Amino acid sequence: MSKKHVVLAGAVMLAASAVALAGPAGGTVSGKVTYEGTPAKMKPIDMSKEPSCQKMYTTPPTVETVVTGSGNSLQDVVVYISAGAPDDAAPSTAAVFTQKGCRYIPHILAFQVNQEIKIVNEDQTSHNIHPLPKVNREWNKSQPPGTPPISEKYDKAEFIPVKCNVHPWMHGNFAVLKNSHYAITGDGGAFSLGNLPPGKYTVTAWQESYGDQSQEVTISGSETKTVNFVFKAKPY
Amino acid sequence: MDVRGGSGVNRIAKRPVKTLFYVAAVLGIFLSTCSPANALPAFARKYGMPCSSCHEAWPKLSPFGQQFKDNGYQMGNDRDAPIFQQPAYWPVTFRITPIWHRESNDKTQVDGSNGVGGNEATVTTHGFDWSGLDFHTAGTLANNYSFYVLPSSDNTAAFHFESVWARIDNIGGSSWINVKLGKFELDNLLSEKRILTLTNVSGVYTNYHFQPVGEAYKFGIGDNQVGVEWMGHSKNDRTRISASLLSSSDGQPSVPNSRAYNGYFAASQAFEVGSLGLQRVGGFAYIGQAPTYFQFTNGGPTAGLPGTGIGNKGFQRYGLIGMWYVKKFDITTIFFHSHDSAYLGTNTPSGGPLNPTGALPTGAQAPTWNGGLFESHYNFNPQLILINRYELVRMSQQALSTNPGNLGNADVLTFGARYYPFISSRAGFAYHGEYAIIWQKGVSPVTATNQTTSSLLFGFDFAF
Amino acid sequence: MRRLQITKIVLILAIGIAVPFAGFGQQMESHIGNLTGHSEAGRQLYYRYCWGCHGARGNGDGENAPYLNILPRNFVIGAFKCRSTPTGTLPLDSDLFSTLKRGINFTNMPNWSALTDQQRADLVAFIKTFSPRWKTEKPGDAIQVPAEPALSVASIKHGSELFQKLECWKCHGQEGRGDGPSASTLTDSNDQPIRPYNFTSDNRSKCGKTNQDLYKIFMTGLDGTPMPSFADVIKPEDAWDLVHFLRTLQYNNKSPELALWLSTKEGAEIVNAKKVQNTYTGSGVKP
């Protein structure tokens, strides 16, 4: 069940980016993120200290620091244009980060600098949302059940781990990006960055455990270039 | 040299070896230079703070260090009990000072060229040397139980106990009630144990040990005394007050003298003056009495039974102190007024077999004198301090009316600099350079003329 | 030749003195009441008193940082525990000033009440030179603390309900001993284990001991620690009820709240049930 949820969320994210990117036609960078080697086995989460969440799962969900799919594909990888594209103004729609079943949905929330994010608690327990930025300002807010969403913004690009101190297994990420050309890989590890005007770009893939990789790509006209990323899996 | 404790050696020396040390001093073999001082990397290690937090220039305390000390070596943030330390932590600090020094005395008693004694000559000696070792152990036994034990040696490794005390701090949760028992330094704002100068001339404060020419009873307000002390202070240490009840033994063990008790009182108040810094003014009084003969003797009229001294006669030391800060410059000023009984001044028993009537010698009178101290520092930064001190002592009444009026008057001038090449929370190290000179009236050993003694010292002073 | 060498030595010495005092950031001022602090004066004080823990560059990596179990503040990040401003915002100068004066209990940060007001103001000004945030951001608007309503049993009881509802006990424990189910897992923003406040240990919390201090702690959160801000979820009048209840957890501290609570049958039962009696260990560490 949980897996499906994540996949679904990923799909929603992709759809959202696609909508955001609708506009003058341009080139596209697409590809697939895979791994080689043996990734660490994701351990099941013991939620026994929070029965209201535990009862939502028939089998315990696993941690999500490395999510793999068929054909050695890697999910939850943020692929974005790290250089070559101008900074974009933030879209007016808010990115939504939901706490449900004592997990973060999506596990990685990508959004733009100064874009509004809404943090929702759908659980019957209090969470505290404690993102741990290094360059942005750090805050930490409590969100008991039934309270309205927390609205926040970040004004600098950064990958920010998010945790809930009350439920130490809860772990997510904010990817604060400078432009609208980004995607998060879903099941299958595929991504597509569209609407790229002709130019030279640096495409970067970021995985929370494996770090990042970059490749240069030159787009002319409305071509589609394929860029694949292969991460070396860490067995621990 | 009638300035008691005119060298660090004298103060450390126990009575039986005192004479020996006098001889040594006269020969110009000035041995120890380091007065036991409290600079404890053990505390720095415990709290992870650099020396410069507690010391303006170690061993001299900063107001923060004074507060820490007054609070029973506690920060007061719930991390003071030893349970917060690694089990292996042992609160111990060693301090020692290898040096080169040059000592010069213009009226040393020597034999003449024909082998006839009773001449005076200028004697200058110099050479490499080292100080005694201080072995500081101090800290907390539990929250609000502090202690300090300091075995200290001279440079022959003959140890004595310089400090031995435990203190119950903040009784009833009040910073105004702290009780200390044992051998400790008097609550002197200008601490002699934290003196910044190390030479034989200026390793101690002349005013803290001065006694009139001819007086044998030894007392120094700079000497650690044995007794019990109540001390109170405001939380931020601006107001400090203390009172002590002390055995009349000048800190000697085993109650060698009498059953007499002395009292010491000190109070001070600090106030802030804008960007200049924290100023402090205070006063102190030592009301003492000392025996003039023994109730029991065993082995002749001069072989007194220890602890049975009677015929107590009084002596007093009073002072006013100001510590003035102008940013990086500061000056401490002290005015001293002292008064001893004529019996003490002339070493006259007030009774007993040697003087049953208690009569004083002809012309005996209570010696009285005044003193001044001006010690200034320029603290460039935590690593460098320049030191200047001028002390003077002026007799206003001699012990014998036949004495010249200025007999014993002293002027002491000291210049020093200490540079700390690194400041850490693990150890302390200082390059030390100092020159000190004392002029004293009419005290030369043969001709009773003016005597000048100077001391030059360079060395490494370190604690770890 | 020899002259040159001496010059060299002098130069090396001079650099040795100068480097720790070299400039970082620009001049700053602090304003606390009618006091104005200057970073230049604060610099000298910082390199006397503070760098051993907070580091020569203010990033909390002083030579003793590895030995401290709650790491010193990293002034470059600019996140501070004790503020009167909302979570994530810069503190007021007066917040830093009072932290210096008070120290932070349960950590190695002592109180600096022995310094003068001017010195503390100067230090605040200098600390602000480490983080670029002080140049680009303004401190947050201080959280408004309404006047404390009259103490009542109803207020304490309502506070007790809030303690449950807001799940304070998840970390602080049902009896406020800092032993809630999540307590053992807590880490601060330096990934160091950190313990929630044990209300029974002392009447001082990290950020002061008055009722106002308590109010501010949970409304602003302690940034850099697991303690979040409850400003968005507690109404001001409720907040005072919570303060009143929290005081009753400090059963070693004679407070009006505890006295009132003990005067009720229910309160006395609750307090007495959790008191640890007859522990004559004399350790001075209260259970």
Confidence of residue A4 (pLDDT cuts 50, 70, 90): very low
The SS3 of residue B370 is strand
Whether C128 and C159 share a structural domain: no
- Residue A10: domain span: 2-232
Structure confidence by residue, pLDDT tens digits, C238-275? 999 999 999 999 988 889 999 999 999 999 998 888 77
Establish if C10 belongs to a structural domain.
no
CA dihedral C10, C16, C21, C24 (to 10 degrees): 110
- Looking at residue C155, what is its pLDDT? 95
pTM of the model: 0.85
- Integer Cα distance of B37 and C226 in angstroms: 44
Residue A61 has phi, psi (to 5 degrees) of -70, 160
- Using CB atoms within 10 Å of the CB of residue B20, give its burial: 0 to 12 exposed, 13 to 18 middle, 19+ buried: exposed
- Looking at residue B112, what is its pLDDT? 85
Q: Does C69 touch chain B (CB under 8 A)?
A: no
- Integer Cα distance of C51 and C59 in angstroms: 10
* C131 vs A contacts (CB less than 8 Å): none
Number of domains in chain C: 2
Establish if C41 belongs to a structural domain.
yes
Q: Does C203 touch chain B (CB under 8 A)?
A: no
Please choose, from the candidates B222, B69, B202, the residue with its C-alpha nearest in 3D space to the C-alpha of residue B138.
B69
Cβ–Cβ gap B143/C285 under 8 Å: yes
* A130 vs C contacts (CB less than 8 Å): 226, 228
- CATH number for the domain spanning A209: value is 2.60.40.420
Strand arrangement of the beta sheet that strand A182-184 belongs to: A182-184, A78-83, A199-207, A211-219
Cβ–Cβ gap B75/C67 under 8 Å: no
Which of B75, B382, B425 is opposite residue C64, by nearest beta carbon? Answer: B425
- Residue C114: domain span: 24-136
What residues does B227 pair with on adjacent strands?
A: B182, B246
CB count, 10 Å around CB of B151? 16
- Integer Cα distance of A126 and B195 in angstroms: 60
Establish if C281 belongs to a structural domain.
no
Establish if C227 belongs to a structural domain.
yes
The owner of tokens 């800092």 is C178
When the pLDDT of each residue in chain A is averaged and rounded to a whole number, the result is 88
Cis preceding-peptide flag for A235 (omega within 30 of 0): no
**Per-domain boundaries in chain B:** 8-463
Whether C160 and C132 share a structural domain: no
Which of A126, A134, A150 is opposite residue C166, by nearest beta carbon? Answer: A126
DSSP string of C1-24? Answer: -HHHHHHHHHHHHHHHHHGGG---
Our CA angle for C41, C45, C51, nearest 5°, is 130
Mutation site, B79, B145, B240, interface C, largest C CB count within 10 A: B79
Chains near C, with 3+ CB pairs < 8 A? A, B
- Integer Cα distance of B457 and B432 in angstroms: 8
Q: Are strands A229-232 and B119-130 parallel, antiparallel or unpaired?
A: unpaired
Which of C48, C105, C119 is opposite residue B53, by nearest beta carbon? Answer: C48
Task: Determine what percent of chain C is predicted with pLDDT higher than 70.
Answer: 87
3-class DSSP string for A196-214:
ECCEEEEEEEEECCCEEEE
Cβ–Cβ gap B66/C67 under 8 Å: no
- CATH number for the domain spanning C97: value is 1.10.760.10
The SS3 of residue B226 is strand
Q: Does B234 touch chain C (CB under 8 A)?
A: no
Establish if C245 belongs to a structural domain.
yes
Structure confidence by residue, pLDDT tens digits, A142-197? 999 999 999 999 999 999 999 999 999 999 999 999 999 999 999 899 999 988 99
Cis preceding-peptide flag for B356 (omega within 30 of 0): no
Please choose, from the candidates B27, B407, B430, B384, the residue with its C-alpha nearest in 3D space to the C-alpha of residue B200.
B27
- Looking at residue C12, what is its pLDDT? 53
Q: What is the CATH number of domain B8-463?
A: 2.40.160.10
Structure confidence by residue, pLDDT tens digits, C87-125? 999 999 999 999 999 999 888 999 999 999 999 999 999
The SS3 of residue B438 is strand
Q: Say whether the ipTM exceeds 0.95.
A: no
> b vs e for A2-40, b when ≥16 Cβ sit within 10 Å of the residue's Cβ?
beebbbebbeebbebbeebbeeeebbbbbbbbbbeeebe
Sequential pLDDT tens for chain B (464 residues): 333 333 333 333 333 334 433 433 333 333 333 344 456 788 888 888 899 999 999 999 999 999 999 999 999 887 888 888 878 888 899 999 999 999 999 999 999 888 888 899 999 999 999 999 999 999 999 999 999 999 999 999 999 999 999 999 999 999 999 999 999 999 999 999 999 999 999 999 999 999 999 999 899 999 999 999 999 999 999 999 999 999 999 999 998 889 999 999 999 999 999 889 999 999 999 999 999 999 999 988 788 899 999 999 999 999 999 999 999 999 999 999 999 999 999 999 999 888 999 999 999 999 999 999 999 999 999 999 999 999 999 999 999 999 999 999 999 999 999 999 999 888 999 999 999 999 999 999 999 999 999 999 999 999 99
Size of interface A-C (CB pairs under 8 A): 81
Number of domains in chain A: 1
C171 to chain A: nearest residue by CA? Answer: A166
Establish if C177 belongs to a structural domain.
yes
* C13 vs B contacts (CB less than 8 Å): 419
- Integer Cα distance of B7 and A120 in angstroms: 77
Q: Name the residue type at position B146.
A: S
Whether C76 and C189 share a structural domain: no
Whether C48 and C117 share a structural domain: yes
Whether C178 and C127 share a structural domain: no
Whether C173 and C129 share a structural domain: no
- Integer Cα distance of C260 and C244 in angstroms: 10
Q: Does B143 touch chain C (CB under 8 A)?
A: yes
Q: Are strands A211-219 and A158-163 parallel, antiparallel or unpaired?
A: unpaired
- Integer Cα distance of C234 and B443 in angstroms: 82
Please choose, from the candidates B412, B404, B414, B415, the residue with its C-alpha nearest in 3D space to the C-alpha of residue B440.
B412
